[in-house]
Amino acid sequence: MAHFIFSGLLIMALNTVSSNTFASSETATFAGGCFWGTESLFRETTGVVATVVGFTGGHVPHPTYEQVCQGDTGHAEAVDILFDPTRISYEALLKLFWENHDPTTLNRQGPDVGEQYRSVIFVHSTEQKQAAQASKDALIRSKAFPRPVVTAIEEAGPFYRAEEYHQQYFEKKGVAPTCHR
C-alpha cells in the first residue's frame, strides 16, 4: 500500500494508483449539502484519486458529527478531493459542483437544513480562488437560477475527517446515492 498526506490526513491507497499520481495530484474541497451525496458524485468521476468526507470552515477543532449537527461549530459538511489535474481540471470539478446542488439556498440542500449544509468552495491556492470566482460569475451571468447564488468562496482551513461510518456511506450501505441526484 502507498501512503500519502491528504489535507493533513494519512490516507492509504491501493497499489493500483502509482505514487507518481500522488506527486502530481491537487486537492479540491467542496461543501454542497449532505456530504454523502457529494462524495459519491466525485468518487465516480474520472481523474479523482481519492475522497474523504469531513468538516471544515468552523471554529471547533476536531468536531464530531453530533457537534456539527447541533449547529454551533461553524463547520460545513464537506468533501476533500484528491484529483489528478492531467486527467480532470479544477474547472471540470467546479462544473460538477454547480450542476449537482442548489447554490441558491442558504444553509440548506433539499430536506437538510442548517449551517453545516451551506454551499461553499474552499480554495487551496490563488489559482483555485480565481477559477472558482470566474465560474461563479459565469453562473450568475447565465441566469441559470431565478434566485441569487449564495455559494461562498473561502480559503481552505483545517479539514477534519468525519467518523468512519460516513466514509463512502452509500457503498457501505449497498444502496444507490439518494441525495444530489
Residue with cell 479539514: 159
The per-residue pLDDT for range 41-69, each reduced to its tens digit, is 999 999 999 999 999 999 999 999 999 99
Pairing of strands 108-109, 112-113: antiparallel
Entry pTM: 0.86
Q: 136: domain CATH number?
A: 3.30.1060.10
The per-residue pLDDT for range 146-174, each reduced to its tens digit, is 999 999 999 999 999 998 877 875 677 66
The pLDDT of residue 177? 64
- Whether the pLDDT of residue 140 is over 90: the answer is yes
The pLDDT of residue 16? 38
95 Cβ contact list (under 8 Å, min separation 6):
135
Between 161 and 11, where is the model more confident? 161
CA distance 76 to 69: 10
Pairing of strands 159-161, 48-56: antiparallel
- Whether the pLDDT of residue 176 is over 80: the answer is no
CA distance 25 to 38: 20
Q: What average pLDDT does this structure show over 128-152? A: 97
* Owning domain of residue 140: 27-173
Q: What average pLDDT does this structure show over 95-116? A: 93
Does 179 qualify as catalytic in the annotation?
A: no
Contact 49, 17 (CB under 8 A): yes
The active-site residue, picked from 11, 34, 52, 68, is 34
Q: What average pLDDT does this structure show over 24-52? A: 93
The pLDDT of residue 179? 63
Judge whether 166 lies within some domain.
yes
- Whether the pLDDT of residue 12 is over 60: the answer is no
Judge whether 6 lies within some domain.
no
Q: What average pLDDT does this structure show over 101-109? A: 93
Judge whether 1 lies within some domain.
no
Judge whether 152 lies within some domain.
yes
Judge whether 38 lies within some domain.
yes
- Whether the pLDDT of residue 80 is over 80: the answer is yes
The pLDDT of residue 110? 86
The pLDDT of residue 24? 82
The pLDDT of residue 36? 85
Task: List the one residue out of 120, 116, 122, 96 whose CA is nearest residue 180.
Answer: 96
Judge whether 12 lies within some domain.
no
**Residues above pLDDT 90, as percent of the chain:** 71
Judge whether 178 lies within some domain.
no
Judge whether 21 lies within some domain.
no
Tally of domains within the chain: 1
